[in-house]
Amino acid sequence: MRGKVVRAKSEDTRKAILDAAEKLFSQAGFHGVSMRAIAVEAAVPQGLLHYHFGNKEGLFDAVLARRVVPLVERRVALLERRLAEARGGRPSIEAIVDAFFRPLMELGREEAGIHYSRLIAMVVNATDPRSRDLTRRYFDTMAKNYIAAIRQALPGLDEADAAWGYYFLMGAGIVSIARSGRIEDLSEGACRADDIDAVLARVVPYCAAGLRGIAGAAEINADITRSSLGRKRHA
């Protein structure tokens, strides 16, 4: 019983450190935050950060790892449900795009989730090896599932175009969860990144139509290729 109490205290400490690190890393990135600053924010001695997480990279990884599995599971489960609901026929591309965005945006309903999703936006768009490794490790499987689902909804898309489409989908996701203040500036306050329903109401039609647009462009390109090949044969 005493062991349990001690364990609980330790877990509280770890949580306080992770919460503080999540908040500060999401604001200034890996190099923009010091272990000292995290310790102060968490109100724990600096030594504990090293005791629990080894070094700064271990802490950063732990911050990311803490929430990524449930997040990815929610998104994959929702995708699978949407695919199952479309049994027999094709799933609608809107249903798939919505499954991609909804659990991600829902993070933003809580303070900690805002920090966490900001951090994801930073990591998945960064170019350094650490970020690229983390992105691959945590998101590759999910991404492949979504690309396959997109192709199921839009059979006209080939593998490459579906990858491009997913890539731009990611782009809309990145700005939507970054909360950079940009949409407030662009709209002079009329639009707000924290209005999750408003974001979903725009980003889903945008990306769904965008994916259809790529499919349409691919067909047009194919037509041009066919007719120019035809012309060549006649020449």
Partner DNA sequence: GTCTATATTTAGATAGAC
Partner DNA sequence: GTCTATCTAAATATAGAC
Helix (H/G/I), strand (E/B), else coil: 31:
coil
104: its two tokens: 């991600």
Number of residues that bind a copy of itself (CB under 8 A): 68
Tell me the window of 29-37, 43-51, 52-60, 63-71 that interacts with a copy of itself (CB under 8 A): 29-37
Secondary structure (H, E, C), 112-145: HHHHHHHHHHHHHCCCCHHHHHHHHHHHHHHHHH
Name which of residues 119 to 148 contact a copy of itself (CB under 8 A).
121-122, 124-128, 131-132, 135-136, 140, 143-144, 147
Q: Which residues contact 192 (CB under 8 A, 6 or more apart)?
A: 183, 184, 198
Other residues' Cβ atoms within 10 Å of the Cβ of residue 4: 8
Q: How far apart are CA 48 and CA 27, in angstroms?
A: 22
Pick the closest to residue 67 from 103, 31, 27 (CA basis): 103
Residue 28 sits in the site that holds a copy of itself (CB under 8 A): yes
Give the shortest CB-24-to-DNA separation in angstroms.
10
Q: How far apart are CA 200 and CA 27, in angstroms?
A: 24
Binding residues (CB under 7 A) for DNA: these are: 6-7, 9-10, 12-13, 33-37, 44-48, 50-52, 54-57
Q: Which does 214 bind (CB under 5 to 8 A by kind): DNA, a copy of itself, none?
A: a copy of itself
Residue 108 sits in the site that holds a copy of itself (CB under 8 A): no
Give the shortest CB-41-to-DNA separation in angstroms.
12
Q: Which does 156 bind (CB under 5 to 8 A by kind): a copy of itself, DNA, none?
A: none
Q: How far apart are CA 155 and CA 94, in angstroms?
A: 15
Question: Rule CB under 8 A: which residues touch a copy of itself?
Answer: 26-32, 118, 121-122, 124-128, 131-132, 135-136, 140, 143-144, 147, 159-161, 163-168, 170-176, 178-183, 185-187, 190-191, 198-199, 201-203, 205-214, 216-217, 221
